[in-house]
Amino acid sequence: MILTINGGSSSIKFALFEVDNSPEKVCYGQLTRVGTTGTRFTVNSDATSLPVTATTYKGAIDFLVEWLEQNITFSDVKAIGHRIVHGMQHTEPSLIDAELLKDLKNIGAYDPDHLPFEILLIEGFKKNHAEISQFACFDTDFHKDMPQVAKLLPIPRRFDRSGIHRYGFHGLSYHYLMQELEHLAGRQIADGRIIITHLGNGASLAAIKHGKSVDTSMGFTPDSGVPMSTRTGDLDPGVAWFMIKSEQLTPKQFNHLISSESGLLGISETSGDMHDLLELEATDIRAAEAVSLFCYQVKKWIGSFAAALGGLDTLIFTGGIGENAPSIRARICEGLGFLGVELNDERNQKNAHFISAANGVSVRVMHTDEEMMIAKLVCDRMDLTTTQKQNTKDIHHA
């Protein structure tokens, strides 16, 4: 068995995979509203969620470890794979040892909304099950070979030498979707000019050509790019300076403002949840403007990425909004006929897999599975580790 852990700032997802020739998911679940009151726990597709008394992230981890110990056989778990959003110089799936854990702690300030919680998860499982190898799977891996021009930030070079450049995120999702696209449509389609829109509470887009990331909307942190549920997306530095100065914000307060109080929530002043905003938009102009801004910005990124790719062959929608909100997909695609994007309204309303009209750009709705991608990467990494150990034994024997 392989256990995967996908820790966010307010949620923890897990999945258990049985491994034979390829991973097969046998159990999954998630904790939501972690770190606040009203934490809930769901398992598999059961619509009934269980209340959790823990009000801290550490308490939620303790709850999850205890539940897993009662419901799975840990002696069968050969590895635990973690989604790590930001790793700076680390990109490839890696065994988590003391040195890697130290590096992650040292860069915690670069991604304060994810890394500290991911480290708590690693340490929580290490405390209770030190005998199980843990692996880090980095969201930045998929984008590591982006062209230099897409990585550079227009700031003094000394910052670039310190590792301050555009990294890109949601890489595990993009990696999984590209594998699925090749499986469904063939290598030729997967090698084409592709834009994937990963639209959920966190949202980003990626421009992909010949199976490689050419550009992506998120940059040095996951707060950049398109407006998100509570994150600003790209922000004029002058606005940041004015906000800090006028409200006398500390760095921590400013980060909370742009990552937890902004985006759709900041504009609507009611909710950062797209489902809520769609219900409110007919009677609340602020909700309507939040929805409109989101669709407008995603549309602009699609246009700019089509230019970077030299055209567009396939457009993919994924994530909670991308997979389940037909009206959002329709508004984003409206006016993109000049790129060859035209939807089949009936299929779009049904959330069908293939939603484009007969001719033109192929528009698809695809379910992403970051946990499956983590399991696959850990399997590959374990095989490599086993091979390396065997090679070392052979050398010593010789």
126 pLDDT above the threshold of 60: yes
Contacts of 177 (CB under 8 A, 6+ apart): 196, 316, 318, 366, 368
- pLDDT at residue 66 above 90? yes
pLDDT band at 396 (very low <50, low <70, confident <90, very high): very low
With 80 as the cut, is the pLDDT of residue 8 above it?
A: yes
Query: Per mean pLDDT, which of 125-129, 199-203, 324-328 is the most reliable?
Result: 324-328
pLDDT at 359: 87
pLDDT of residue 276: 95
User: What angle (nearest 5°) sits at the alpha carbon of residue 369, between those of residues 376 and 47?
Assistant: 130
So what's the pLDDT on residue 393?
A: 41
Confidence of residue 384 (pLDDT cuts 50, 70, 90): low
- Whole-model pTM: value is 0.93
pLDDT over threshold 70, residue 385 = no
Q: Is the pLDDT of residue 48 over 80?
A: no
| Token code pair at residue 298 | 């995603």
For every residue of 135-166, DSSP letters joined together read EEEETTGGGTT--HHHH--SS-HHHHHTT-S-
Sign of the torsion formed by the C-alpha atoms of 229, 231, 236 and 239: positive
- All structural domains of the chain, each given as residue ranges with its CATH number in brackets, are 2-138 (3.30.420.40), 186-367 (3.30.420.40)
Write the pLDDT tens digit of every residue in 84-105: 999 998 999 999 999 999 999 9
Among 113, 139, 141, 223, the active-site one is 139
Mean pLDDT, all residues of the chain: 93
* 181 and 366 Cβ atoms separated by less than 8 Å: yes
pLDDT in tens, 232-243: 999 999 999 999
Judged by DSSP in three states, 335 sits in coil
More confident residue, 328 or 37: 328
Instruction: Say yes or no to pLDDT of 287 above 50.
Output: yes
Whether residue 345 lies in the annotated active site:
no
Percent of the chain, pLDDT > 90?
85
**For position 389, what pLDDT does the model report?**
45
